[in-house]
Homo-oligomer: A and B are copies of this chain.
């Protein structure tokens, strides 16, 4: 439950105390400049040097310094989220509404602190809170928001490679032995995509067997590590999925972490889909062991309802993200700026300018609180359990796996009456394989609802119902089942 207590209410406490001293030269009088001001837009600038005069093209009375925590207000803990919010509103007025005026830079871009100071701070403190929820001591570590879980997972493979074979950055993959990555046969395809893109090759992404619930079998991981080593390959990286795409399965992270420690491998947890459960006291045990991971993907744009795109890659070791990716472009990252350039986060990314994904998440978290996310998540899981309970013994349904789903994924076949008496065999399988596509097509024609289907391994097409919208109700679930039966009855 590390980190939960700090999130029980709706506030972040003195976040900027952790952010360091941003300005190198705070020689001007700072009293009351940021915190405690009644109105940032009417602050008194009479103490300023004549060179800092306002002019008619100046679009507000806000100073750049007003966006910076200063030595005095940080010492007194005055820079709170409330003042950050004030800054944001002021900055919004300053730039967004005035974007017709040159030359303010677009604030919807993040690579240096001067371009998007408020958003850089928001990103840093939010990432820290996420790391605290993972359970890393004091929320220490590193991270970035990236354009989606696939890219976050790609980062994890890149930094694992950099950790063990930093010379690959300059010399390429030929400087390393044959490296192999391990991930569940049920894991998201982005791990394989990363293997292809980054030059490992998909043949070197070894798929791990799972139990009947879609969870990695730790003994299979160890056997495959030993097999790879025997062939002379070098095991590098293990991905444990927290919330698999189809079954919603949570791999046993602690047991996988034991094996990673034993063989000195990088452990990544892909919590793109299941990471949100860290917000729930009832369900976060499914991610036990995540604090032992070296890196974590967590997409607030999935289970937590933040509009796409909002994905975080979180890293336990500080500095490795920059080490892996920095190119020190002279035109962006000048060491002789007048503020602490460790806040210029852009060089840690494989992107240059980044879309501001943090703002909507930060604002939602402020509005709902951790408790609100917890309610959201618990409700969705309750609802999927309602669906499971409704159909598990209902005539015409078969579950794809037994037992209450770990996440909100409910996987099932609808068996039309014409197939119910048929013995299992190729004919029934072929017919059943065509049922879900037909029903989905009719749903799309009808426009009433839509639910996805897919095959998995040797299992023919089945429905996968996923709940992530907390405004869904039991009657919506009832309606879905009614629709399936109405549309599928005569197939």
Contacts and interface: CB of A to CB of B under 8 A. Distances in A.
Interface of A: 25, 28, 51-55, 57-58, 60, 62-65, 99-106, 108-109, 114, 147-151, 154, 158, 168-175, 178, 188-190, 192-204, 245-246, 301, 307-309, 324-325, 327, 329-332, 334, 336-338, 349-355, 434, 437, 440-442, 444-456, 461, 464, 467, 469, 471-473, 476, 479-480, 486-487
Contacts of A199: 168, 172-173, 198-200
A449 B329 CA distance: 23
A51 B351 contact: no
Nearest to A354: B148
A196 B168 CA distance: 7
Contacts of A327: 189, 192-193, 196, 202
Given A199-B168, A202-B169, A471-B100, A147 B188 contact: no
Contacts of A190: 352
A53 to B, nearest CB: 8
Per assembly, the copies of the chain total 2
A338 B451 CA distance: 14
A102 B334 contact: no
A326 to B, nearest CB: 9
A246 B52 CA distance: 28
A283 to B, nearest CB: 20
Contact of A198 (B25, B197, B444): B197
A170 B202 contact: yes
Contact of A353 (B57, B148, B178, B200): B148
A100 B376 CA distance: 13
A351 B198 contact: no
A231 to B, nearest CB: 14
A451 to B, nearest CB: 7
A454 B331 contact: yes
A173 B171 contact: no
A437 B336 contact: yes
Given A172-B201, A476-B102, A336 B434 contact: yes
Contacts of A151: 147, 350-351
10 contacts: A25-B441, A51-B442, A103-B472, A105-B450, A147-B309, A148-B353, A148-B354, A150-B349, A172-B200, A245-B331
B325 A193 contact: yes
A473 B57 CA distance: 12
A446 B471 CA distance: 48
Contacts of A62: 447
B172 A331 contact: no
A352 B149 contact: yes
Given A150-B351, A308-B108, A442-B51, A447 B170 contact: no
Given A308-B106, A454-B334, A467-B102, A198 B198 contact: yes
B352 A103 contact: no
B196 A169 contact: yes
Contact of A307 (B60, B108, B171, B307): B108
